[in-house]
Amino acid sequence: MKKIGVLTSGGDAPGMNAAIRGVVRAAIGRGAAVVGYVHGYEGIICDETTPLYFHSVGGIIDRGGTILRTARSETFKTYEGRKKAIEVLNSGGVEGLVIIGGDGSLTGALKLHEEFDFPVMGVPGSIDNDIAATDFSIGFDTAVVCAMQAIDRVRDTAYSHERVFVIEVMGRHNGFIALEAGLSGGAEAVIIPEVSSSLMEICEQMKSAAERGKKSSIIIVAEGAGNAKDIAEFIQKKTNFETRYLVLGHMQRGGSPTAFDRVLALRLGATAANRLLNGFRGEMVGVEGTRLVSHPLSYVLSSSREIDPEKLLLVQTMA
């Protein structure tokens, strides 16, 4: 391959820039040119490109967000949209594509591969960490650290005022951020979409903890499992504890990536480019333990990541 493309798509995630750097410098090292598509798949359809040279990706390893911007493209979800994208890729002499994004973006990549036999390589980028066949997606660690630091701060004031705080973290369909942030922040309960929780039971636990002298509590809720305001109101009504709530929202998606996310992103980006140039296609690179792996996108997208029940139990044991 003489020229490959790279894009970021869907929700942004800290570390996407490091992944772009990994792709670009690995490909250039192999003698291939790289073009960046701006605004995800929409950028292919509109032929919105930027050439990516070795120096273009200097000074971005520490930057959150994505220099290529990102977008959600409804046109690309249609067959006609994807056909147009393939025409643009072909006319630009782009022979392969690295897609950095979440499960939606990877679904789009699989379609390019299956419908048009176009060489694609996926890189998992999502703070939610809900992509199968990899232990970690780019951005998850940074989002968890962000949430954990917020919990640490809130705990100080919760302790001083003897209050209950309900903190809502991201995770529309899953509780990976909630569970990891809850454990690392020492939360008393974690409410996630995968498991049904009894708010009454949580209230009873807080009441008996108060009798033992524990006067403040932190409850973490994933956005897909409930609304922090409603939960806080419920708790205050049932327990009479003074309760406050906080929605962390998009601050979890921004900020400088952690060392873990930077290294993960560089490794995954470089591996994706190398595998594409080695003739592999239709895969997603990932990490299992400390080992880099690559699985067919069809396998990745028909599998799911499960919450670790041992970690859930640990939240209860620690509370």
What are the residues binding ligand ADP (CB under 6 A)? 9-11, 41, 72-73, 76-77, 101-105, 107-108, 111, 126
Q: Is 126 in the site for ligand F6P (CB under 6 A)?
A: yes
Tell the smallest beta-carbon distance from residue 74 to ligand ADP (Å).
Answer: 7
Residue 188 contact partner, candidates ligand F6P, ligand ADP, none, CB within 5 to 8 A by sort of partner: none
69 binds ligand F6P (CB under 6 A): no
Catalytic-residue membership of 156: no
At 133, list the tokens: 């066949």
- State how far the Cα of 234 lies from the Cα of 222, in Å rounded to an integer: 17
Whether 24 contacts 57, CB under 8 Å? yes
3-state secondary structure of 233: helix
**Using rule CB under 6 A, residue 167 touches ligand F6P:** no
Q: How far apart are CA 23 and CA 32, in angstroms?
A: 11
Cα Rg of the chain, angstroms: 22
Query: Could you tell which of ligand ADP, ligand F6P, none binds residue 108, using a CB distance below 5 to 8 A set by kind?
Result: ligand ADP
CA separation for the pair 208, 214 (Å, rounded):
9
Site string for ligand F6P, 75-104 (x = CB under 6 A): ---------------------------x--
Q: At residue 214, what are phi and psi to the nearest 5 degrees?
A: -90, 110
Looking at the Cβ atoms of 170 and 192, the one nearer to ligand F6P is 170
**Minimum separation from the CB atom of position 24 to ligand F6P (A):** 24
Treating both helix axes as pointing N-terminal to C-terminal, what angle do 176-185 and 309-318 enclose, rounded to 10 degrees? 30
Active-site positions read: 128
